Structure formats: C-alpha cells, structure tokens
Structure 1
Amino acid sequence: MTAFSPIKMLPLLLPAAFLIIPAVLWFPQHRELLDSAYLYTFKTGFIGILLEALPFVLAGALLSSVIGVFVPDEAITRWIPQRALPALLFACLLGVIFPICECGMIPLVRRLLRKGMPLYVGIAFILSGPILNPIVFSATLTAFRTHPGLAYARMGLAFAVSLIIGLIVYATVKRSPLRLSMQRSDEELRHEALNGGKLAAVFTHAADDFFEMGKYLIFGCLLTSLIQTFVVQSSLASIGGRPLGSYLFMMGFAFVLSLCSTSDAFVASSFAHSFPSGSLLAFMVLGPMLDFKNAMMLMSLFKTRFALYLFFLIASTVFIGAILLSGWL
C-alpha cells in the first residue's frame, strides 16, 4: 500500500477552497436554505447517489484485482488486435461482456492499462462500456416504449462517439497521460500473490483501489447533491426552451445529476414532452461518459491536461452527434 501524499489530494482541495469563500459570503444572507427541508433533500440525495454508485465501484475494484492476479500481462496484449480500428471495435464491444456501470469502469481500466492495454483502447472502453451493454439497452427501451428509436439512437451514438474519440486519442496522444502513481508495475501485486496467496492479494488490492477511487466518488457525490438541492430547476428549464439551449441544458443536467446509466433513461423520459428528442439523446449519452463523480475519478487517473482534453472531446462530439441525429429522431 502506498504512502499518503498531500499532492494527491489537490484535485479535491482546490475545488473545495474555491467553494468556501462564496459559501461564507452567501449563506449568512440565505439562512432559509439551512432549514430542515433543504437539509433533508441534501441528505437523501447524497446517500442515494452514493449508494447507487458504491456497488459498481466495488465491482470494478474486485474485477480489476482479479485481472491483476490471475491474468498474465502478455494475455492482455495478445487478446487486443494490433491494428487501431479492429482494436477500437473490440473495445467498444467489451461492454457486452463486462456490463459494468461507469463508476466501476475506471478501476478496471486502470488495471488493464497497467497490464498493457493501449491508451486509446482503454479510453474507448471507458466511454462505451457503461452504455453498450444489454442491461442499459433494456432499461432505455423500457423507459421509451412509445419511442424505441431513442434506445437504438443511444447505442449508435455511444458507439460512434467512443470510436471517434478513440481514433483521435490514437492519432494525437503519443506520451502516457497516466499519473505517476498509476504507472507502477504489478510486481508488488504478483509478489503478494506468491507470498500471501492469490485470494488474499485480490482482496487487499481491491480494498486499495476501492478507497482510492472512493474519496473522489464521495467528493463528486457531495457537490452533486449540493447542486441538486440549491439550484432552482424551474429557472433552468426556461433556458432549455431555446433552440440549442435544450441541448446544452440537458448535457449540463446530465453532468450535474451524475445518474447511473441503468436509470438515467427514466429521468430523460420525464422531459419527453417539453424537450426535443435530440437533447434527451445528448443527456443519455453524455451522462455515463462524463458526469461530476467520474470526472473526479478520471482526474485522479490521468494528468490534468489530458483529462481536460478528454472532457472537451466528449462534450463536443456528443453535442454534434446529437444534433445530427435529431433529424432522424
């Protein structure tokens, strides 16, 4: 287990520092926001998001540790096609085999990257896995029984976005963007497996991964719950009535709500009578790829410059793709 370093907490401490000053100046003039109703909304929202995400983070941590102990390094590289396009197609279809939510995807991909998976393949898997699986497809089809085209459009756009961003990363990123703490070899894991038994090594490193990702998850859930509690959604909905405003609003809404990919379609369906189908599609594709809690976890995995580059690619590609598909919907 690695020693604690204050530098690793900077992605958490810096946003918190910027929030403290507005809170100190603003809350004394709005004491009504501290009444029991707001506190209850915040508490139930925070616990709901956290409990929804934690099982998937744990599943991802366990699966990544099993891969680290039992799967040899050369097996990963042998399974992945050598050419970029077949490798990306392989990555986009992995979600059918590993139907893991976005919260559990990052610990798993971190292990796979350390095992030799190319970066562009790992990015495509992170983006496509939470959407391109039978569980999410069934949930989306159920939520839009009267408009099944949205379920097929969601799968198609998620596949296209993952493929395009994977190709862009393949063409533009030549150096590893992983943080130094993520670039360690698996010698420690293999040594523990030999000395203490493979099962003990699995649970030890699953716990390490779980708590390392968990602190970012908790911080993301905390800020998401604050926004859900204190932002007046009726005023935001009026912005969504503008031509392109509905797309930007629903994408921002997906980022803030941080819903699980198996449940966000039911939230999107509640907006079906007041928002265009293209904006609902943008909501359902962007959310699993980029929301507040997994943005925090991605910042812990990748260097800040690459993480921001990835965020821009996701948002712009989803926005353009949803607009292009809106005519078909």
Structure 2
Amino acid sequence: MDIITVFEQFINKFLGYSLEILPYFFIATVIGAFIQSYVSFNFVRKFINKDYSPAVTALFGSSVPVCSCSMIPIAQTINSLSKSYAPAVAFLISAPILSPVVFFLMIGMFGWKLTIFRFVFGFLTAVITAYIVNILFKKPPALPMISSKGQSSNRWQIFKTAFKEIFIGTGRYVLIGLLIASAVAVLIPSSVVVRFSEFPFSYIFIAVFSIPIYVCSGEEIPIAKSFFDLGFSQGQALTFMFASAGICIPTISATFKIFPKKLAVFYVLIWFFGSTAGGILFDLIFKYII
C-alpha cells in the first residue's frame, strides 16, 4: 500500500469520524457552558458534609466538562471543605468519565446502550467507592477550609467564556483523539486487533495498556471507536475508555498529592478493577444474557 493511498484512507476516516461526532460535540458544548454559567459551586458546598454528599459530588462531577488533570484543583477544593475523603473521591471518579461532552460523544459513536451503561456503572462505582472510602479511611480533623466566591451576575458573559473554553480547550483534545483514531484505523490491521480481543485476559491487558495513555474530555471515545471498528467488543472498548480516562499517569501522580498514600493506591486499584469489570459485565449482559 503506497503512501498516497494510506493518506487518502486516513483523510476519509478522519472526515467520517468528524462528521459523526461534531454535531453531538456542539450540543454538549452548549450544555456544558450553560451548567458553568448557572450552577454555582456554592450550591455544592452546602451539601459537602451531608451523608449523601458523595452522590452530590458525583453528580457535580458528571455535570462539568473537565479532563483528568483539570479536575484536580476542583477535587482539592472539595477535599478541603469536607470532613471526609468520600466527596472528593466520588468527584474524581465521576468527573473524567461522565460529562455532557462524554454523553453526547458516546451517543454519536456508540449509541444509547453503551452510553447509558457507562453512566450508570460509572456513577454507581463513584458513589459506592466513596462510601467504602468513608469506612476504611478516616480523615484527620481540623483541616483548613477554603472559601468560595460567588459567581458574577453577568451570566451571558460567563456562558460565552465557558463556551469558548470548552469548544477550543476541550475541542483540541477531541481533535487529537480523532486524528489518533483515524491513524489507528488505517495503520493497524484488523486481524491483529481481532486476535488480541480474543485473548482470555484481554480486558486486563487493555486496562494496563491504557494507563500510559493520556486522554482528555472525550478524547478516548473516538480512539475506542477505532478499536471497536477493528474488532474490539463494545465492552473492551469501554474498558479502554474507563482506564485511559481515569488512571492515566498524570492523574495517578496528582492523587498521591491529595490523598494519603494508602488511599491513593486504593483509588488506583479501584479504577483498574472497575475498568476491567465494567467491560466484562457489559459484554456478559448484552452479548450472552440479553
């Protein structure tokens, strides 16, 4: 296959993926900007020390379009306001894998079934893990509290700024994902992916393989789509998306700065096994049961 043919195939794949995903990305950008304009962090702050606070911060995490690195300052703020580690853990799990951007990109590339499963499984994992953390890891009292300023009353200006930040800031990572996905689809033989996907411990290896990969704000979705097109099952694609978004090396490093060492290790292990279990469970339910 000559270089010109490969380049033509790459362009065709890139245009195909782009046309498939861009309408959903635009809708998600509008929704994300609206949430940033009209939902104040002070609202979340009111519920930070309630028994149900992990559910609140998990929902908050699923509403803000942040990547696995940009979520760290928000998680630090939540952790400083809370009497336990649970709310910050719930936010850290939900934020990189559940957002308006992710929701619409998932629908555009994988359809409703995998999208709903990703959100339900991701939210439940965030909340259940947070309550387990609340039992196993007690936070020392009297940590400093961080004040939170109110939002400006100029909601339209906030909306325009947020829209620009999401569309450009997040969009560039989605663009990188589309470029990588197109290259993977053209350069990697489908027979190689199929053989790998049939390996008995493929889900575990996919999770391990995903750790060094840094993806941001939906960037993993088009890459996973290219693997799916080459032979991955949807569950294996889900394992890749969970692991690459949640336990990339920059995030792992940051958690050791926020949490005690044992809790940080527990957090990483939950991501690893949760990513693997999520993919296996989806394939078992929809391939063998339903």
TM-score relative to the length of structure 1? 0.55
Aligned to 1:123: 89
1:264–1:244 distance in 2 versus 1, CA, 3 Å? same
2:114 aligned partner, one-letter code: L
Aligned to 2:284: 327
Say which of 157, 181, 185 aligns to 2:144.
Answer: 185
Aligned to 1:102: 68
The secondary structure found in structure 2 opposite 1:256 is coil
Question: Residues 32-68 of structure 1, C-alpha deviation per residue, up to 9 Å, x if partnerless?
Answer: xxxxxxxxxxxxxxxxxxxxxxxxxxxxxxx9xxx9x
Aligned to 1:152: 116
**1:256 paired to 2:212:** yes
1:130 aligned partner, one-letter code: P
**1:282 paired to 2:239:** yes
- The answer to whether the 8 A contact 1:124-1:165 is kept is yes
TM-score relative to the length of structure 2? 0.62
Q: 1:281 Cα deviation (Å)?
A: 0.9
Aligned to 2:134: 170
Q: 1:304 Cα deviation (Å)?
A: 2.3
Q: 1:297 Cα deviation (Å)?
A: 1.3
**1:80 paired to 2:48:** yes
**1:309 paired to 2:266:** yes
Q: Which aligned pairs between 1:1-329 and structure 2 lie closer than 5 A?
A: 78-80=46-48, 82-83=50-51, 86-116=52-82, 118-144=84-110, 147-176=111-140, 185=144, 240-272=196-228, 273-329=230-286
For structure 1, the residue ranges without an aligned partner over 5 or more in a row are 1-62, 194-232
1:184–1:89 distance in 2 versus 1, CA, 3 Å? closer
1:79 aligned partner, one-letter code: F
% same residue: 22
Query: What CA RMSD, in Å, does the superposition of the two structures yield over aligned residues?
Result: 3.3
For structure 2, the residue ranges without an aligned partner over 5 or more in a row are 1-35, 150-187
User: Which is greater in Rg?
Assistant: 1
Distance 1:94 1:141 in 2: 21
Question: Residues 50-97 of structure 1, C-alpha deviation per residue, up to 9 Å, x if partnerless?
Answer: xxxxxxxxxxxxx9xxx9xx96xxx866323622xx322212210244
Distance 1:159 1:175 in 2: 23
Task: State the 4+ residue runs in structure 1 displaced beyond 6 angstroms.
Answer: none
1:173–1:184 distance in 2 versus 1, CA, 3 Å? closer
Aligned residues: 208
Question: Residues 177-210 of structure 1, C-alpha deviation per residue, up to 9 Å, x if partnerless?
Answer: x9xxxx96358x89xx9xxxxxxxxxxxxxxxxx
